Amino acid sequence: MEHIRTPKVENVRMIDRLTRRKSSVGTLYLSSTHTIFVENSEARKETWVLHSLIYNVERLPTNSSGSPLIIRCKNFHVYRLLIPQEKDCLDVLASLTRLSRPERYGELFCFSFNPNLDKELREKAWGFINLKAEFSRMGIPCNLWHVTAANHEYRLCDTYPSELFVPKSASPAVIVGSAKFRSRGRLPVLSYFHRDTSPNLFIASICRSSQPLTGFSARSSDDEQMLQAIMKSNPVSEFMYVVDTRPKLNAMANRAAGKGYENEDHYTNIKLQFIGIENIHVMRNSQQKLIDVGELAAPSMSDFLWGLENSGWLKHIKAVLDAGVFIAKAVAEDGVSVLVHCSDGWDRTAQACSVASVLLDPYYRTIKGLMVLIEKDWVSFGHKFSHRYAHLDGDPKEVSPVMDQFLECVWQLMQQFPCAFEFNERFLIQLHTHIYSCQNGNFIGNCQKERRDLRLQERTHSLWPHLWENRAEYTNPLYRTDHSQTQGVLKPLTTAYCFKFWKGMYGRAEKSVASHQSPADCLNAVREESQQLEEELSSHQEVPRETDAGQGIHMHA
Amino acid sequence: MELSEHIKTANVEDVTLRRPFHPALRGTLCVTSHHLLFSDRKDEASWQLLILLKNIDAIEKSVENLFGYPRAMGSSGTITIKCKDLLVLQLEIPGMEECLNIASSIEALSSLESVTEMYPFFYRPSHLTLNGPWGLSSTEQYYKQTERLWDRWRVSTVNSDYSVCPSYPSAVIVPREVDDDKLIRSARFRQGGRFPVLSYCHHRNGMVIMRSSQPLTGANKKRCKEDELLLQAVIDGSELGYIIDLRSAQQAQQARMTGGGFESKSFYSHWKRIHRHHERGKIVQESLIKLVEACSDPSHSVDRWLSKLENSKWLSHVHSALSTAGLVVECVERDGHSVLVHGSEGTDNTLLVSSLAQLILDPASRTVTGFLCLLEREWIQAGHPFQQRCAHSAYSHARLKQECPIFLLLLDCVWQVWRQFPLALEFSEALLLRLAQEVYASNYGTFLCNSEQERCAAGVKENTHCLFQSLLRPDIEEQYLNPLYEPTDLAIWPSVHPQSLQLWTGLFLRWTEYAQNMEEAREEVWSIVKEHHEQAGPDRTNNTLSTHCDTLTPFENLMDELTIL
């Protein structure tokens, strides 16, 4: 509370940019976690803005009607306020600037967020997603893959989970040697195991790692054996792909720093493939340009399309999707295992592996499945959430919309396959908000070790059960488990015209009061009603029987 | 010359047909006076493709072995057929001579100029009779239905012999106090005689949308008292009306040099003029050509695609049309004023804007019947020159004359409205797609000719079938219904923010893989709704959906989770 200079400002005007007639007057309250705007109108409508979601606060020059203040959020909501007194505006600006940039983990909202759950329920909630169960769903451990204790207490790699799945044929020495030859010790380990049910019976896998420390000529026989072991654990295939998701030039430049990519002459039976996803700095700039396009005041059609092109955003989304498509095709159609890496193996690698998994496995297209996938490929494998999503006031160069791009790839797929996903757009947007909001402990910190050290499971709540309880809200009415799109591998088109501007995400600056004609809501309502009718019908059928038998109906009511 | 004389080779065997996303087929190709018929060789359950020759926009031929090898040596040719509905087909025809003959027949027969030689005059399906009603409504009927008009408006038959305005229908609605003589004088003062007539009367407040062509003020600033009186009579006691001029102020000024012009403030003191620039004619046609070209190359990078999409300007035209229609609606519905819309000739953008405004304002025009009536009144009877505008589509190599896809632009704008308000229209995208096809090539006479006068002279009503009548047959209409339809009385203001407007993939990517998944989704929607109807039973069908009625607020972007529906 020490950062709040003025906890309450009256006669503040909240401006709707498109329809000025709709702006409303009310009172602005600042709490330690939220800024709340309460309209003076009879409805006393409240708008809550979470401080940890604030991206920046901008004050425009004071004019005759007051001091304008623009609050931009990390989920692309924009609030425009007009504060009568300049002094109040400056106070609010100073408070929000400080409150939106916590300096220590302890200041984060998740540590004060208290949804009134008892201890037992909270602990149970943290067990809602179980990665061991997920690997066993894939059929792991099996005769080819097993869990290794090599990373117990994060001895081998402090950004990896403590439990790693590796080929059975890889000896402890090979595992340790391979880790030594990989950037930050991120050795090749299993990410996804594809058990084919078709007559092919492919058992190809997707593994992930960081770049090898090749420099210009170095090699490691352990690392070479590790890849050999991965390839051999897919008995039907004679080679494996190494997908380097970076542009080739970037990969080559890394050699000067003692890193690089696999030399095809040193590794037997690998095929190296570069995909060309740009680095986090390019992506950050691209997204900023895209946000600017969304914020243009009265753009012409050409301004908009030119801005969209100029941002390069959709081109980058296509690159990520292309990576996923390449991997999924190798695994499902050719039955070839793939090792995916970029530089550190926690951004582009996570994107490529998880997009490929969504394409390959219908499970990841369900509500629970997507949670599991994010927990596995992102949270457990050390995607640096707190750095990338600026949870703490830190190096702005570490910030980048990596997860945004993954979620958008899923959204683009939903546009092409409207019946293939159990969840709807709202679910993706909700996930996006929570990745930034710091309301729950799930995405705090940068790796499993850090989360353990922060004792997050004891001090914060898990997001997943909360989303699960509200899953009705996130359900796609067109999803059916028996639908042709639902089953099997998705083969999306990646023609340029398939990629659309995600208005639901980036067009939110435009949206004022929620008013909508949503076909999905309408269909959901129709579905629910059908179910109710069905239940009514069956209960009607039951009643006479019970009456005949002379039983008390009330007991069943 | 008889049509059949154009046909030198009527039949070719062993032809290979290639279509996008289908395996190649071998079969027999026939050319008739109006059709290209391909049937695959299997005797039972044979598959046939029947294409109206009029649907063919361009053909390209390439012949191999031109050096006179005998046919047995395998001389053959390939004809690429590009249709006005944007489908592209390839036919591999054995025999060079056959190939060239077929190509020349197609070229000659696909560009017939005489209306009475066209297929609608020969289309005689067994389930339709020629004596049935033709068309859905008339000026008189519209007048009778619209009680609000009876007091101050009348039906004038001053144009009954089409001498006052050749492109107007025989009956028009005008202010009661303006007699026919005044109309004749006003007509002389308007380009093509298109004097201001009533297009729509708003059910809520009685305000009207008028349309006309530009006044012929010329360089000397001529005036016409009768024209001024006519417009004065439109607004009656109310103090103000708006003229929405679909040209920029500068263009309107320039028009004076060629005899056209605009209503000056000093002579039309109660009318406020607003200029909105709209592209027309060749520029819009070229937009279509560029857009279709961009869509037909899947190898473009994202940057190149966006740049081509922008460069085509097609979405800019959609944007302008919807924005100006929104402006008209704002004047009529929100500010309570009457509006006169015109550009130059008053046969293209004028109709586009006035009909879109009606769709936004008037719930009656959002039903299948209502929408078709709107098209009939505002486009067919109002004299949009369909024959000239739709002579060619996006592929033609012919030199462009008066082609312009304004009607396609209307359908695109309606699609944008439907996408933003997926529950508000009774019809579905399928109807728009059907119309987009029919307007370029049809079995029916509805879109023939350029005006009612021409249709009358050619005997269209007596000798062809009416498309709109046929679309409304219950078994047919069902295909075009929107399963989510939920009528609303409110105006449906589309967002015209560029990010709310999208490429109409259903039309422009119709023949790509992209369309297939969308089709599945559409079927899924239907099955959910049908299942519900079966469970709810006939009595309860309607009241469920209506519980989800929303208030429709202007300029608010809508949730579009399922943009494809």
d(CA A23, CA A13): 7
d(CA B340, CA B263): 11
Return phi, psi of residue B507, to 5°: -90, -50
Cis upstream peptide for A141 (omega within 30°) = yes
Whether B185 and B43 share a structural domain = no
| Pair type for strands B208-211 and B338-342 | parallel
Whether A135 and A97 share a structural domain = no
Average pLDDT of span A463-474: 94
Closest CA to A384 of A353, A354, A344: A344
Give the CATH number for residue A22. 2.30.29.30
**A501 chain-B contacts, CB cut-off 8 A:** 499
Measured between CB atoms, does A533 come within 8 Å of chain B?
yes
Whether B205 and B149 share a structural domain = yes
Whether A414 and A454 share a structural domain = yes
Question: Which of A301, A411, A416, A428 is the mutation pick for testing B, counting most B CBs within 10 A?
Answer: A301
Whether A62 and A186 share a structural domain = no
Asked if the Cβ–Cβ distance from A507 to B499 is below 8 Å, we say yes
Whether B14 and B108 share a structural domain = yes
Whether A47 and A169 share a structural domain = no
Give the H/E segment covering residue B353: helix B349-361
Average pLDDT of span A353-379: 96
pLDDT digits (tens, 9 = 90+) for A37-72: 999 988 888 989 999 999 999 999 998 889 999 999
**A534 chain-B contacts, CB cut-off 8 A:** 535
Whether B413 and B499 share a structural domain = yes
Measured between CB atoms, does A68 come within 8 Å of chain B?
no
Identify which of A415, A507, A525 has the shortest CB distance to residue B557. A507
pLDDT digits (tens, 9 = 90+) for A408-456: 999 999 999 988 999 999 999 999 999 999 999 999 999 999 999 999 9
Closest CA to A38 of A11, A18, A70: A11
The pLDDT of residue A295: 80
Whether B87 and B164 share a structural domain = no
Interface confidence, given as ipTM, is 0.88
Whether A171 and A96 share a structural domain = no
Cβ neighbors of B45 (< 8 A, separation 6 or more) are none
Exposed/middle/buried for residue B557 (C-beta within 10 Å: 0-12, 13-18, 19+)? buried
The pLDDT of residue A512: 38
Whether B387 and B256 share a structural domain = yes
A459 lies in some domain: yes
d(CA A206, CA A248): 21
B123 lies in some domain: no
B420 lies in some domain: yes
Identify which of A484, A499, A530 has the shortest CB distance to residue B532. A530
Tokens of A19: 């329809």
Task: Count contacts between A and B (CB, < 8 Å).
Answer: 192
The residue from A474, A490, A506 where one domain ends is: A506
d(CA A56, CA A63): 21
Q: What is the DSSP string of A277-311?
A: ---HHHHHHHHHHHHHHHH-SS--HHHHHHHHHHH
d(CA B166, CA B159): 8
Sequence-ordered strand ranges (E) for A282-384:
338-341
3-class SS of residue A461: coil
Asked if the Cβ–Cβ distance from A523 to B529 is below 8 Å, we say yes
The residue from A506, A524, A550 where one domain ends is: A506
Q: What residues in chain B have per-residue pLDDT under 50?
A: 538-565
Exposed/middle/buried for residue A374 (C-beta within 10 Å: 0-12, 13-18, 19+)? buried
The pLDDT of residue B95: 83
- How many other CB atoms are there within 10 angstroms of residue B483's CB atom? 21
Predicted confidence (pLDDT) at residue A556 exceeds the cutoff of 70? no
d(CA B229, CA B552): 38
B230 lies in some domain: yes
Per the rule left: phi > 0, alpha: psi between -120 and 50, beta: everything else, B332 is alpha
A541 lies in some domain: no
DSSP state of A61: P
**A523 chain-B contacts, CB cut-off 8 A:** 484, 525, 528-529
B411 lies in some domain: yes
**DSSP-assigned beta bridge partners for residue A192:** A206
d(CA B427, CA B365): 11
Average pLDDT of span A161-186: 95
Q: Where is the binding site, in residues of A?
A: 279-280, 342-348
The answer to whether A74 touches A459, Cβ cutoff 8 Å, is: no
Predicted confidence (pLDDT) at residue A21 exceeds the cutoff of 80? no
**B495 chain-A contacts, CB cut-off 8 A:** 510
Predicted confidence (pLDDT) at residue A256 exceeds the cutoff of 50? yes
**A320 chain-B contacts, CB cut-off 8 A:** none
The pLDDT of residue A268: 87
3-class SS of residue B139: helix
B528 lies in some domain: no
Tokens of B359: 């769709």
Asked if the Cβ–Cβ distance from B524 to A520 is below 8 Å, we say no
Whether A143 and A88 share a structural domain = no
The domain total for chain A is: 2
Whether A79 and A163 share a structural domain = no
Tokens of B345: 């000739």
Structural domain of residue B83, as residue ranges?
3-112
Whether B448 and B347 share a structural domain = yes
Identify which of B517, B548, B556 has the shortest CB distance to residue A525. B548
Catalytic residue among A110, A157, A207, A342: A342
Give the H/E segment covering residue A131: helix A131-138
| Pair type for strands A54-59 and A67-73 | antiparallel
Asked if the Cβ–Cβ distance from A523 to B525 is below 8 Å, we say yes
Interface of A with B in 161-190 (CB under 8 A): none
Closest CA to B428 of B478, B477, B480, B467: B480
- Stretch among A457-471, A510-524, B477-491 having the lowest mean pLDDT: A510-524
Tokens of A41: 């109108």
Q: If you search the block for the tokens 């269909």, which residue do you land on?
A: A523
Taking every pair of Cα atoms in chain A, the longest distance, rounded to a whole number of angstroms, is: 88
Exposed/middle/buried for residue B155 (C-beta within 10 Å: 0-12, 13-18, 19+)? middle
Taking every pair of Cα atoms in chain B, the longest distance, rounded to a whole number of angstroms, is: 84
The pLDDT of residue B100: 87
Measured between CB atoms, does A478 come within 8 Å of chain B?
yes
Chain B: nearest CA to A474, how far in angstroms?
Answer: 11
Asked if the Cβ–Cβ distance from B302 to A496 is below 8 Å, we say yes
Question: Which of A417, A502, A503, A505 is the mutation pick for testing B, counting most B CBs within 10 A?
Answer: A503
Asked if the Cβ–Cβ distance from B528 to A526 is below 8 Å, we say yes
A3 vs B86, more confident: B86
Chain B: nearest CA to A542, how far in angstroms?
Answer: 18
DSSP state of B90: E
Whether B102 and B232 share a structural domain = no
B428 lies in some domain: yes
Predicted confidence (pLDDT) at residue A255 exceeds the cutoff of 90? yes
What is the band of A540 on the pLDDT scale with cuts at 50, 70, 90?
low
Predicted confidence (pLDDT) at residue A112 exceeds the cutoff of 60? yes
Chain B: nearest CA to A546, how far in angstroms?
Answer: 24
Whether B332 and B382 share a structural domain = yes
Asked if the Cβ–Cβ distance from B315 to A301 is below 8 Å, we say yes
Cβ neighbors of B281 (< 8 A, separation 6 or more) are B348, B402, B404
B540 lies in some domain: no
Predicted confidence (pLDDT) at residue A202 exceeds the cutoff of 80? no
CB contact burial B343-353 (16+ within 10 A = b; e otherwise): bbbbbbbbbbb
**B563 chain-A contacts, CB cut-off 8 A:** 415
d(CA A358, CA A348): 15
Query: A342 an active-site residue?
Result: yes
Tokens of B442: 């049809």
Chain A: nearest CA to B501, how far in angstroms?
Answer: 9
3-class SS of residue A276: coil
Chain B: nearest CA to A78, how far in angstroms?
Answer: 15
Closest CA to A401 of A463, A317, A497, A342: A317
Chain A: nearest CA to B404, how far in angstroms?
Answer: 21
DSSP state of A60: P
Whether A77 and A138 share a structural domain = no
Give the CATH number for residue B95. 2.30.29.30
Tokens of A64: 């005759």
pLDDT digits (tens, 9 = 90+) for B255-294: 999 999 999 998 998 999 999 999 999 999 999 999 999 9
Predicted confidence (pLDDT) at residue A163 exceeds the cutoff of 50? yes
Taking the CA atoms of A232, A235, A239 and A244 in sequence, report the sign of the dihedral they define.
Answer: negative
d(CA B494, CA B557): 8
Asked if the Cβ–Cβ distance from A294 to B499 is below 8 Å, we say yes
Identify which of A306, A419, A529 has the shortest CB distance to residue B520. A419
DSSP state of A86: H
Identify which of B295, B532, B564 has the shortest CB distance to residue A497. B295
Closest CA to A101 of A65, A68, A52, A67: A52
**A417 chain-B contacts, CB cut-off 8 A:** 517
What is the band of A510 on the pLDDT scale with cuts at 50, 70, 90?
low
What is the band of A235 on the pLDDT scale with cuts at 50, 70, 90?
confident
Whether A194 and A89 share a structural domain = no
Return phi, psi of residue A278, to 5°: -75, 170
The residue from B521, B536, B554 where one domain ends is: B521
The pLDDT of residue B326: 93
**B535 chain-A contacts, CB cut-off 8 A:** 530, 533-534, 537
In Å, how far from its chain's centre is CA A206? Answer: 19
Strands in B25-31's sheet, in edge-to-edge order, are B48-52, B35-40, B25-31, B11-18, B88-94, B76-83, B56-63
Return phi, psi of residue B419, to 5°: -70, -35
Whether A486 and A397 share a structural domain = yes
The answer to whether B153 touches B175, Cβ cutoff 8 Å, is: yes
Whether A351 and A273 share a structural domain = yes
What is the band of A478 on the pLDDT scale with cuts at 50, 70, 90?
confident
3-class SS of residue A46: strand
A519 lies in some domain: no
Whether A89 and A163 share a structural domain = no
The pLDDT of residue B367: 95
What is the band of A87 on the pLDDT scale with cuts at 50, 70, 90?
very high
Interface of A with B in 510-529 (CB under 8 A): 510-523, 525-527, 529
The pLDDT of residue A548: 39
Whether B84 and B187 share a structural domain = no
Exposed/middle/buried for residue A20 (C-beta within 10 Å: 0-12, 13-18, 19+)? exposed
The pLDDT of residue A138: 92
Exposed/middle/buried for residue B67 (C-beta within 10 Å: 0-12, 13-18, 19+)? exposed
Chain A: nearest CA to B248, how far in angstroms?
Answer: 16
Asked if the Cβ–Cβ distance from B521 to A484 is below 8 Å, we say no
d(CA B315, CA A316): 24
Asked if the Cβ–Cβ distance from B532 to A517 is below 8 Å, we say no
The domain total for chain B is: 2
A150 lies in some domain: yes
A544 lies in some domain: no
Asked if the Cβ–Cβ distance from A18 to B303 is below 8 Å, we say no
The residue from B77, B93, B112 where one domain ends is: B112
Whether B370 and B265 share a structural domain = yes
B186 lies in some domain: yes
Structural domain of residue A87, as residue ranges?
8-101
Q: Percent of chain A, pLDDT > 70?
A: 89
DSSP state of A156: S
Interface of A with B in 16-45 (CB under 8 A): 18-19
Sequence-ordered strand ranges (E) for B370-469:
none
Whether B443 and B362 share a structural domain = yes
d(CA B203, CA A212): 74
Cβ neighbors of B313 (< 8 A, separation 6 or more) are A301, A302, B279, B283, B287, B290
d(CA A239, CA A230): 10
Sequence-ordered strand ranges (E) for B336-415:
338-342
